[in-house]
Amino acid sequence: MLRILSAHYTRSALASLLAAVCLYPHLLLAAPAIETVTPLNFGLFAIRHNATVSALRLSPAGGLTSSGEMIAISGAARGEYRLSGFPPGVILRFEIDDAQLSEGGFGLPEFFRVTAWEHPETLVSNLTGEAELKLGARLQSSGSGTPYGDAPYTGGAQLRVSYWSESEGGFLTFIEQLDVSAQVQSTLTLTEEQALSFGTVAAFPTAGGTARLTLSPNGSLSSVSTGGARLLALTGAQAGKFQLSSAAPNTSININVQTGSIFMTHTTLGLASARFVVKDFTTFPASPAQTNALGALSISVGASLETETTSQGYADGEYRGSYTLTVSY
């Protein structure tokens, strides 16, 4: 009976061991592995120029700060990784090499450098041989003077995890390549929603004076005349309206509108008819202005319309001209 009982317990122990292997196969069979939960991404940002070194600092907590000529826009995410297959209850030590990010990941300059990695010096694997790792780093420009194109930038960094292996009787190192990314968008998107128009007017020039019609950015009109010239607003005047979008939130924007004068000429008769002079362009808001929390800004444009000092009359019809409006960080 004793022998039979002994054999019975041996089978039970073996069954328990097999059950443990079925329920927790990673305890005996799994090799070290790193699963990327969230790849480290410096997000979307603008860079005014590359004459000096500028940087973004992304912390393991997810906080992002910028310095120099870099302007953070959106989408930055710390790196989050799940480590598994390590011996339970061992100290894990980390080393990460600096990395280079290139446009499209093609390895061509101009590069961004990823350095000054932030991570815990050590972690301890849990009873199942797992641990959670969070990473931050610094992204810096070259400062070479060569501009960066608007594009995604990608690259990789080597992560080394050192740990004690009881079965090997020494320290082992597990190596994994981590993907790192960023995207430059320095060009701003400006959309004309309403053309600047002085509407329908009645114009009477003279060689000895001018008439002026001023359209403010809020759409109001005023007029002044000298030397017998007249310029009467009839209907349809409207300020120009533009929408800036996809910019950095709560950020100062420079607004530069046409300086000097432009001519509006008859669309079919050209110089066979007198021209209008458009000058004194103004915007609301004035420069600099600040985007809202969504990175948007509405801009209105006004100007003054003047008759030429000429005895040549204005033919009925449409008169057109063009002006410039630019926005920048």
Q: Give the pLDDT score at 316.
A: 98
* CA distance from start to end of the chain: 90
Q: Give the pLDDT score at 147.
A: 97
212-222: per-residue pLDDT in tens? Answer: 999 999 999 99
| Percent residues over pLDDT 90 in the chain | 91
Considering only 6-20, 38-52, 109-123, 177-191, which range has the smallest mean pLDDT? 6-20
pLDDT(18) > 60: no
Please state, in angstroms and rounded to a whole number, the distance separating the CA atoms of residues 57 and 59: 6
- Using pLDDT thresholds of 50, 70 and 90, give the confidence band for residue 30: confident
pLDDT(301) > 80: yes
**84: buried, middle or exposed (CB in 10 Å: 19+, 13-18, 0-12)?**
middle
- Three-state secondary structure of the chain: CHHHHHHHHHHHHHHHHHHHHHHCHHHCCCCCEEEEEECEEEEEEEECCCCCCCEEEECCCCCEEEECCEEEEECCECEEEEEECCCCCCEEEEEECCEEEEECCCCCCCCEEEEEEECCCEEECCCCCCEEEEEEEEEECCCCCCCCCCEEEEEEEEEEEEEEECCCCEEEEEEEEEEEEEEECCCCEEEEEECCECCEEEEECECCECEEEEECCCCCEEEEECCCCEEEEEECCECEEEEEECCCCCCEEEEEECCCCEEEEECCCECCCCCEEEEEEEEECCCCEECCCCCCEEEEEEEEEEECCCCCCCCCCCEECCCCEEEEC
| Percent residues over pLDDT 70 in the chain | 91
What domains lie within the chain, and their CATH numbers? 29-184 (2.60.40), 189-328 (2.60.40)
Tokens of 315: 């033919």
55-105: per-residue pLDDT in tens? Answer: 999 999 999 999 999 999 999 999 999 999 999 999 999 999 999 999 999
pLDDT(26) > 90: no
Please state, in angstroms and rounded to a whole number, the distance separating the CA atoms of residues 233 and 202: 7
pLDDT(297) > 90: yes
123-175: per-residue pLDDT in tens? Answer: 999 999 999 999 999 999 999 999 999 999 999 999 999 999 999 999 999 99
Average pLDDT over residues 2-29: 36
The sign one gets for the Cα dihedral 25, 27, 31, 33 is: positive
Q: Give the pLDDT score at 19.
A: 41
Please state, in angstroms and rounded to a whole number, the distance separating the CA atoms of residues 298 and 285: 8
Q: Give the pLDDT score at 10.
A: 33
Tokens of 48: 């005014």
